[in-house]
Chains A and B, each alone.
Chain A
Amino acid sequence: MSTEIQFDLDRPWQVDPRVSMRPEPFGALLYHFGTRRLSFLKNQRVLAVVRALGDHPSARAACTAAGVTEAELPAYRRALAALAESSMISERTVV
């Protein structure tokens, strides 16, 4: 079972407006009011990345701002791809 998920780190992303995000000791709990799905962010850094998405021109910049290293980037890309697949995050238009 291979998951070939496309996710463009160089595009701007945001937490979907229908998502409620609750910080937890392990990271955070996301609930999507449209799909009624839950996602757990399993550490503080991935939470920092998700929080930073809306403030940066690209997901890559958000990762950098959250302290994600080049070596860690593929794992975070997969995590963001999963969040995009479940509509927790969505592309946003920039001015």
Chain B
Amino acid sequence: MAEQTVAEAAETEALTSDELLVEEVSIDGMCGVY
């Protein structure tokens, strides 16, 4: 459940690699979410 919230609230910015080995997510938008 918490993970779903994180996934929904996060701004996903796919960075990186040719074959998408790593994906980064910012959770700055999570500040007001409890």
Question: What class of interface size applies to chain B in its complex with A?
Answer: 10 to 19
Interface contact tally, CB-CB below 8 A: 53
- In the complex, the answer to whether A39 meets B25 with C-beta atoms within 8 Å is yes
Q: Which residues of A sit under 8 angstroms from B16, Cβ to Cβ? A: 3, 78-79, 82
**SS class, residues of chain A in contact with chain B:** mixed
Q: In the docked arrangement, what's the CA distance between A84 and B24, Å?
A: 12
Q: Tell me if B22 is interfacial: C-beta within 8 Å of chain A.
A: yes
Question: What class of interface size applies to chain A in its complex with B?
Answer: 10 to 19
The verdict on A36 contacting B25 (CB below 8 Å), with A79-B16, A82-B17 known, is: no
The verdict on A42 contacting B21 (CB below 8 Å), with A78-B16, A82-B15, A82-B16 known, is: yes
Q: Which residues of B sit under 8 angstroms from A40, Cβ to Cβ? A: 22-25
From A3, A37, A76, A86, B21 is in contact (CB under 8 Å) with: A76
Interface residues of A (CB under 8 A from B): 3, 36-43, 46, 74-76, 78-79, 82-83, 86
